[in-house]
Structures are given as structure tokens and as C-alpha cells.
Structure 1
């Protein structure tokens, strides 16, 4: 694998970092999350118009830039550094791939160009606050247990009087659900005996739709409760399936979207951890104790060196997942764990000021805690990756033990440097981060 980036990819990273450094510092982030939308709408328009950020991974035929997952992951690494509150993940990371995979040609032609130019933001609403389960990150989503069940569980869909469907139910913890112009709602249809989960399009102005922004631990990822009371909806995909066997493979599409979203989240976590470490390095260089900078103490150097190795290993895992999205779950586990450790150490190394809620170190601490609650926990991500690799259950017909290590990257070599600092992203010793 050639880990070098192209000139175009480096330019995407450089341009985005310069813009976010000017427009999205800690003070700007705190101001943006307190707006009604939960993000800086003017900055989002600029990112869409000048950089084509929401359409980065969409085909040119739909008005996108025509790049791939790697470019979008690099962009997410930069937005993660700034903890940028934006609809990028919910719109480009979750909704757009589902529309592209399941939508009819007419739906794709209508929606994807509007997503690409930033004029339409989207949100994925699944009942029960079970986004990780719906995306297949923490377990197999084929059974549909994450969507509720029976006659009243989850969100229910029934035929409307004039065609279309009516949805009844609610979904909590919907990322950007309060401000999105379009909701993709997972709902049961087909009655009790033939119940199956499908995705439906709900417009922001639909009658019977109520959205309430919730108080979230991490304000940079706004969440909402979505209530649907006989709300008019349109099936995502062709509405000509007569039975469950002919219906779209919604769990499969969600799982495929999940592994790609895991890569983007891993890149975000790496960016956030890297910036938290950089800010901590700046602080320990300037903060003096006993007449010398605290960063000159050997114990502090060792702690910083350990954090540096963790960040480099997580970055290597995220980049590998961008090249091979199947490893997204492992990369996400590595990224979330790294961000949690680095954010915690950042609070500690900032001393008394780091423990105040007003200090920027807590922005990273809250992002670490909230992301693990939303998309983790880490041990379930790793368990799911092991199940996919066949480490727990041998493949059908194979002798006992045949499943161990049968998938590339399932073990300690899942990504260069992902399990330790000894891979291609190996970090130099403590002297490399001497302060």
C-alpha cells in the first residue's frame, strides 16, 4: 500500500485547515452551537460553495466533486481538529450514501445535486436511539431488533389515503434532526406477520412532523427527538415490491453505509485527538513551575510521548480504513479510544484550569465521551469486527478453528500501526516530542 497522498488530496487538507483556522476557533464553535441550527450556516454555505464539501464523494453526474472516501475522510480529519459543528456527517456520511444506494433514479436526480451544493441537509432517524446498531457497528443489524418490532414498536408505516405512506412513532438522538431539510426515517411496514424495515423520506414541512432539539453532552453534535403523527412520507426506492423477498435490502445498505461512516468518524476522532495534543504541547511549553516549563519534566515528556504514539497509530488505522472501508469498525474503535485517552490527559496536564467547563479542553473531552456513547462502546466495535472476521464462529463447513485470522486485517495487523506503534506509522521516541 502506498500511503502517500496526491497533490489534490494535500490541497484539500491544506485549504480546509486554513479556512477553519480563521473561521472556527474555540470561541466561534461555542457561538455556533448556540444558534438555532446548531452550526454556522454562513460557514456551511462557504464550505459548500467554495470547497464542495458535502459533494466531495458524490459523482460529478450529480453535481459532486467526484472524489472518494479518502478525500472525504481527510476533510473529516480537519473538521475533527476544529470540532466543527456542521451537518457534514449526517448529510454526506449517512444520508447521501443511502439515497445513492436505495433511491430511484428520480429520487437521486432530485436529491443528490441539492446535497452536493449544500442547499439540502439530511438526517437519518432510527427509533430507540440505536444508531450504532442500525448501522451494524455494534452487532448484526439483519434481524431488525434495533428498529423495534411487533405492532407498536419503533416507527410504523401504513398506506395513506391518496397513495404514499403515513408514519407514526418517534425517534430520539437524531443527529441534526432539528434542522435537516429532509429526514430518512426507518419504519416498519407490511403489517405484523410480514413486517420489514424500510426507509422513508420525510420533508421538513410535512404535516404531523414535530422536532425538538435535545440537550446533548457534546453540543457540537446536536441531536433531536423526532415525533411523527400520521406524517406523510415517501418510500426511498421503488414502491412496487409485493412481498418481503422483493423489498430493498435496507439492513445491507445501512451496514455498508456504517463501515464508511465508521471511517469518517475515525478520521474525525484522529483530528480531534491530534489538535488536543497540539494544544497541550503549547500549554506545557509555556506553563512554568519551580522556575521551569512543566513540559521539561521527564514524567510529562513520557506521557506526551505515549499520547503521540497513540495518535499516530490511530491515524494510520484511519488512513488504512479509507483505503479499505471494511476495516472501518476497527479504525473507529482505535480512534475513539485514542481520543478518550488524549482528551483525558489534556485535562490533567492543563492542571486546575483544565478542570473548568469553560476551558477548550472540555470540548474535546465531551466529544470523546459523546461519540463513544453514540457509536460505541469500543469493546463492542472490536467484538463486531472479530465476528465479521470469523474469529468467534468458524465459517460454515469449516473445521473448528478455521475462522482464526481468515480475514485480512482481522488480527493485530488490521491497519499499519493500529494495534501498537510498531507499524508503518511507528513514532520516534520521546525525544521527538521534546518540549
Structure 2
């Protein structure tokens, strides 16, 4: 594997860093997240026009740049440095791979070009607080229990009544009148502003329950969206309510009984790509938090000298530097081999959490004020750990997939008790007492 970056990749990183350096400072981030959209729409359009950022990993035949997910990960390292609030993660890393893998030719032709141009944004709605499980980051998603298991809760899908008034559909669950969804989904990334929702729902009732993905437009009847208060405002989340909402099955109504397995496999594949992107994004944030801290300790003086000259401070910063560089190496490797994304994400989240925490400590009293910029990085670290982790579960699942933990062997059965020698005396039953 050639790990050197190409001239095109270096140019994307340089241009993106230049644009974000001018338009995405800490004050700009705080102002953007408090808008109705949760991000700077004009900056999003600029990134789409100049760099084709939303379509980096979309094929050229659909209007994209035609690069690989590795290029998307490298770009997200720069967006992570600036803590850019944008629909990039939800649209390009989560929804585009699912539409590409499962969509019909007509669906791909209709959806991918506007997604690549940045005119259309998308969000993945997964029932319950189970995004990491649905993407197979912290456990297998094959059982589908994360979506409600077909019982009460989650989101349920049923064939809509045909023109005659009765629900019509073949053995594969296809409905002549389309589909209707009902249920509720919390913690949907960018769900309040996305033009298109990809909703994971159960179809087929309890006996034949399977998880499928459905397309829901922002203007669909019965769709209610409300933005939620969250720890990290740079990752806005929404609660989605579906009240007999019309939906289109991703993949068309020719999906077979085994179509639920296709959706789960596509979600797991999207999770591998997303983990590599998230790892690069976390590394970018950790690197910037460390750089800002180093700059501060060079300027802050105590006892007549810069605190960065103290040996204890140097040791702490050196440890952080090693941790961030190790996480960056893991993230770059995962960008070329997404199967390693789980371990890379665990290492990157751990590095970001440690760096953000030390940044607050080394900034002293000013760092503990809630309004300080250091808290933006700490909130990102804590929120990502809650959404896509925790770290120990990411590592445990990666180790299980790699076969590092062999199944425990059952202990050998105890030896049979040898019969007592014959003495001609019948022993009393256990319940009787023998008088002495």
C-alpha cells in the first residue's frame, strides 16, 4: 500500500483548510449552530461549488467528483479541525452509501446528483438510541432488535391501501399503494433540516418481521420534526415523528423476503466507511485542540516565565502529541482499509477525549468557563463517544470480529462416583436419623 498522498488530495486539504480558516473560526461556529438550519448554508454552498465536498465519494456519472471514501476521510480531517457544523457526515458518510448500495437505477439517478451538488441533504433515522449498533460499530446488527424487533416501539411499516381501499401486496410485501410509516425516532443527526430522510423500519408484522429502509421527503404528510437540545451543538439532532407518513421503499417494491438482510448488510458497510470518516474527523479536532493549547502555554506566564517551559507541562504535552499521532496513523490506515475503522475510531475518540480534557486543564481558570473555546472540543469528544461508542465497546467488537477471543471451552464433566463396596448392610435413607 502506498500511503503517500496524491497531489489532488493535498490540494483538496490545502484549499479546504484555507476556506475554513477564513469562514469557520470559533465565533463563526457558535453563530452557525444557533441558526435554524444548525449550520452556515452559504458556507455549505461554497464548499459544494468550489470543492464538490458533498459529492467527493459519488461517482462522476451521478455528478460527483468520483473520488474514494479515503478522500472523504481526508477532507473530514480538515472539517474536524474547524469543528465545522454541516450536513456532511449525515449526507455523504451515512446516506449516500446506502442509496448507492440499495437504490434502484431510478432512485440513484434522481437522488445522487442533487446530493452531490449540495442542493439536497439527507439524514439517517434509526429507532432508539442505537445508531452505533445499527451501523455494526459496537455489535452485530443482524438480529435487527435495535429497531424494535417488530414489537411495540421503533418504526413500523405497512402497505398502504390500494385504490380499492384494501391493503394490497404480494408475498414480498410490496404494496400497490406504496407504504405508510408510523412511530418515533430520536437522536437523528441533522434530522430537523434534512430534505430527505432514510428511515429504518420494520415490515411484515411480528411473524415475518424484517428491517427495511424507506425514503421520506421533508414535505411528507404526517411527518413532524423537532430540534432537540444536545450537548454538542455542532452535531444538531432532531426527534422525528411519523404519523401514517407516506414513504418509498429504498430498492423499490421488488424487495424480497430476504431484503431485510440486504438492508442490514448495507448498514454495516456504511458503518465501516463512517467509522473511518469519524476517526479522521476526531483526529483533526484533537490535533487542533493540541495546537491551540501549545500556543497558549507559550504565552501564559507564571512566576516570570511561560508555563510551557515547565517540565511537567512539557511531559503532558509530549504524551498528548504521541497519542494524537498514533491516532492519526490509525485513521489514515482505516481510510484505505475501512475494515479497520472500528479500532481507528476507538483510538481517535480516546485521543480527542484526552486532548480536550488536558486543554481545559492547561488553560487554567479561564479554561473551566463554559464559554471558552476549549469546551467546543470537549463537547465534541463527549457527544461522539455517546453517539458512536463507547470506546471499550468499539474495541471489544473489533476484537470479536478479528477472532481474538476464542470461545470458552466447557469444563470436563466430574468423574463418576465409585459405588460403595458391598457389606450386606442397607444404608438408611437420607431423611432418617440413626440412633446411636
The equivalent position to 2:245 in structure 1, one of 209, 231, 236, is 231
Counterpart position of 1:409 = none
Task: Give the paired residue count.
Answer: 396
1:100-179 equivalent positions in 2, closer than 5 A: 100-162=100-162, 163-179=177-193
Q: Does 1:203 align with 2:217?
A: yes
Shift of 1:150: 3.3
| Aligned residue number for residue 259 of structure 1 | 272
Q: How far off is 1:132 after superposition?
A: 0.3
Q: Distance in 2 between matches of 1:337 and 1:259?
A: 18
Deviation, structure 1 residue 240: 1.8
Q: CA deviation at 1:247?
A: 5.0
- Work out whether residues 150 and 156 of structure 2, in 8 Å CA contact, stay in contact via their aligned partners in 1: no
Aligned to 2:185, the other structure's residue is in SS state strand
Tell me how far apart the structure 2 counterparts of residues 33 and 18 of structure 1 sit (CA, whole Å).
Answer: 21
Correspondent of 1:342 among 355, 359, 371: 355
Question: Partners of 2:306 and 2:55 in 1: how far apart?
Answer: 46
Could you tell me how far 1:59 is from its partner in structure 2? 0.5
- CA distance in 2: counterparts of 1:175 and 1:12, whole angstroms: 26
TM-score (norm: length of structure 2): 0.89
Q: Is the 8 A contact 1:57 1:66 kept in 2?
A: yes
Q: Secondary structure at the residue paired with 1:266?
A: helix
* Residue matched to 1:416: none
Residue 292 of structure 2 is aligned to residue 271 of structure 1: no
Equivalent pair of 1:237/1:248 in contact (CA under 8 Å): no
Alpha-carbon displacement from aligned partner over 1:137-190 (angstroms, at most 9, x marks no partner): 010000001101233221000111241100000100000000000000000001
Distance 1:30 1:246, change over 3 A: closer
Structure 1 residue corresponding to 2:206, chosen from 192, 195, 216 = 192
1:248/1:104 Cα in 2 relative to 1: closer, same or farther (>3 Å)?
Answer: farther
Q: CA deviation at 1:393?
A: 3.8
1:246, CA displacement in angstroms? 5.2
Find the counterpart in structure 1 of residue 430 from structure 2: none
Cα contact 2:150–2:210 (8 A) shared by 1: no
1:418 match:
none
Deviation at 1:394, TM superposition (A): 6.0
Aligned to 1:88: 88
TM-superposition CA deviations, 1:222-249 (whole Å, max 9, x none): 000000000000000031245x235561
Match of 1:389 among 391, 397, 402: 402
Alignment CA distance shift 1:185-1:275 (3 Å): same
Cα pair 1:56 1:68 within 8 Å, conserved: yes
In structure 2, the residue matched to 1:300 is: 313
**Mapped partners of 2:118, 2:46: distance in 1:** 9
Output the aligned Cα RMSD.
1.4
CA contact (8 A) 2:228 2:238 kept: yes
- Cα 1:251–1:393 shift into 2, 3 Å: farther
State how far apart, in whole Å, the 1-side matches of 2:113 and 2:405 are: 43
**Alignment-derived partner of residue 69 in structure 1:** 69
Deviation digits for residues 101-122 of structure 1, max 9, x if unmatched?
0000000000000100000000
CA distance in 1, matches of 2:130, 2:258: 25
Q: Which residue of 2 aligns with 1:287?
A: 300
Matches within 5 A, 1:11-22: 11-22=11-22
CA contact (8 A) 2:212 2:259 kept: no
Q: Distance in 2 between matches of 1:202 and 1:109?
A: 17
| Alpha-carbon distance, 1:391 to partner | 1.4
Q: Where does structure 1 lack aligned partners over 5 or more consecutive residues? A: 401-435
For residues 246 and 370 of structure 1, what CA distance do their matches in structure 2 show? 33
Specify which of 309, 329, 353 is matched with residue 316 of structure 1.
329
Superposition pairs of residues 12-91 of structure 1, within 5 angstroms: 12-91=12-91
Say whether 1:367 aligns with 2:358: no
Whether the aligned pair in 1 keeps the contact of 2:188 and 2:237 (CA below 8 Å) is yes
CA contact (8 A) 2:76 2:281 kept: yes
Query: Is 1:102–1:248's contact at 8 Å kept on the other side of the alignment?
Result: no
Partner of 1:404: none
Task: Describe the SS at the equivalent of 1:337.
Answer: helix
Given the two structures, how large is their TM-score scaled by the length of structure 1?
0.89
Q: In the aligned structure 2, how far is the partner of 1:254 from the partner of 1:260?
A: 10
> 1:167·1:232 contact (CA, 8 Å) conserved in 2?
yes
3-state SS in 1 of match to 2:405: coil
Return the offset for 1:191: 1.3
In structure 1, the partner of 2:194 is 180
- Structure 1 distance, partners of 2:260, 2:316, is 53
- CA shift for structure 1 position 387: 1.0
**Distance of 2:258 and 2:43 partners within structure 1:** 45
Q: Counterparts in 2 of 1:399-418, with a 5 A limit?
A: none
Q: Secondary structure at the match of 2:152?
A: coil
